[in-house]
Copies of this chain bind each other. A is one copy, B any other.
Amino acid sequence: MEAEVAAGSPGDRLSSVRELMARHQAGPATVQRAIAALVARGVVEARPGRGTFVAPRVAPAAADTSWQTVALGARAIDADALETLLRPPAEDAFVLSSGYLPADLQPTAALGAALARAARRPGAWDRVPPEGIAPLRAYFAAEVGAAPGEVLICPGGQAGLAACLRGLAAPGAPVVVEAPTYLGALAAARAQGLVPVPVPADERGIRPDLLADALERSGARLVYLQPVFANPHGATLDNARRAAVLEVVRAAGAFLIEDDAFRELAIATAPPPLFGEDPDGHVVHVRSLTKPAAPGLRISAVIARGPALARLRAARIVEDLYVPGPMQEAALELVGTPAWRAHLRRLRRVLRERRDALATAWGQPVRLPQGGMNLWVALEPGIDDRDVAQRAAAAGVIVSPGRPFFAGEPPGPFLRLTYASEPPDRLATAVERLRPLLKP
- The distance in angstroms between the C-alpha atoms of A171 and B192, with both chains bound, is 8
Question: Are B103's CB and A315's CB within 8 A?
Answer: no
Question: Are A324's CB and B321's CB within 8 A?
Answer: no
Interface hit among A13-21, A123-131, A361-369, A403-411: A123-131
Q: Which residue of B lies closest to A190 (CB)?
A: B318
Whether, in the assembled complex, A134 has its beta carbon less than 8 Å from a beta carbon of chain B, the answer is no
Neighbouring B residues of A255 by C-beta, 8 Å: 68, 71
When A86-B130, A116-B116, A297-B324 are in contact, do A187 and B60 touch as well, CB less than 8 Å?
no
Whether, in the assembled complex, A211 has its beta carbon less than 8 Å from a beta carbon of chain B, the answer is no
- The distance in angstroms between the C-alpha atoms of A254 and B68, with both chains bound, is 8
Interface string of A76-108 (1 = CB under 8 A from B): 111110110010100000000000100100101
- The distance in angstroms between the C-alpha atoms of A112 and B222, with both chains bound, is 42
- The distance in angstroms between the C-alpha atoms of A205 and B126, with both chains bound, is 31
Question: Are A79's CB and B296's CB within 8 A?
Answer: no
The answer, among B70, B111, B123, B298, for a CB contact under 8 Å with A119, is B111
Whether, in the assembled complex, A155 has its beta carbon less than 8 Å from a beta carbon of chain B, the answer is yes
Interface hit among A35-43, A49-57, A377-385, A430-438: A35-43
- The distance in angstroms between the C-alpha atoms of A285 and B308, with both chains bound, is 34
Whether, in the assembled complex, A335 has its beta carbon less than 8 Å from a beta carbon of chain B, the answer is no
The answer, among B62, B193, B293, B306, for a CB contact under 8 Å with A65, is B306
Copies of this chain, count:
2
Interface string of A126-147 (1 = CB under 8 A from B): 1111100000000000000000
Neighbouring B residues of A326 by C-beta, 8 Å: 115, 296
Question: Are A79's CB and B162's CB within 8 A?
Answer: no
Q: Which residue of B lies closest to A115 (CB)?
A: B119
- Residue among A130, A307, A317 with most chain B CB within 10 A: A317
Place the interface of chain A in its size category.
35 or more
A286 CB to closest chain B CB (Å) equals: 13
Q: Which residues from 280 to 295 on chain A have a C-beta closer than 8 Å to any C-beta of chain B? A: 280-281, 293-295
- The distance in angstroms between the C-alpha atoms of A116 and B111, with both chains bound, is 11
Whether, in the assembled complex, A48 has its beta carbon less than 8 Å from a beta carbon of chain B, the answer is no
Q: Which residue of B lies closest to A155 (CB)?
A: B320
Interface string of A303-320 (1 = CB under 8 A from B): 001111001011101111
Neighbouring B residues of A123 by C-beta, 8 Å: 103
Question: Are A307's CB and B65's CB within 8 A?
Answer: yes
Neighbouring B residues of A239 by C-beta, 8 Å: 40
When A296-B126, A324-B296, A324-B297 are in contact, do A280 and B65 touch as well, CB less than 8 Å?
yes
Neighbouring B residues of A319 by C-beta, 8 Å: 158-159, 162, 188, 191, 319
Neighbouring B residues of A115 by C-beta, 8 Å: 115-116, 119, 326
Question: Are B321's CB and A77's CB within 8 A?
Answer: no
Question: Are B86's CB and A127's CB within 8 A?
Answer: yes
- The distance in angstroms between the C-alpha atoms of A128 and B320, with both chains bound, is 19
The answer, among B130, B167, B295, for a CB contact under 8 Å with A126, is B295
Question: Are A315's CB and B77's CB within 8 A?
Answer: yes
Question: Are A108's CB and B127's CB within 8 A?
Answer: no
Neighbouring B residues of A315 by C-beta, 8 Å: 77, 191
When A158-B320, A255-B71, A318-B191 are in contact, do A269 and B33 touch as well, CB less than 8 Å?
yes
When A86-B130, A281-B63 are in contact, do A184 and B120 touch as well, CB less than 8 Å?
no
Interface string of A154-189 (1 = CB under 8 A from B): 011011001000111011100000000000100110
Given contacts A41-B276, A115-B116, A125-B297, 7 further A-B contacts (CB under 8 A): A69-B307, A82-B317, A82-B321, A86-B321, A116-B120, A156-B321, A327-B327
- Give the top 5 A-B pairs by smallest Cβ distance, nearest first: A65-B306, A171-B171, A115-B119, A125-B296, A125-B294
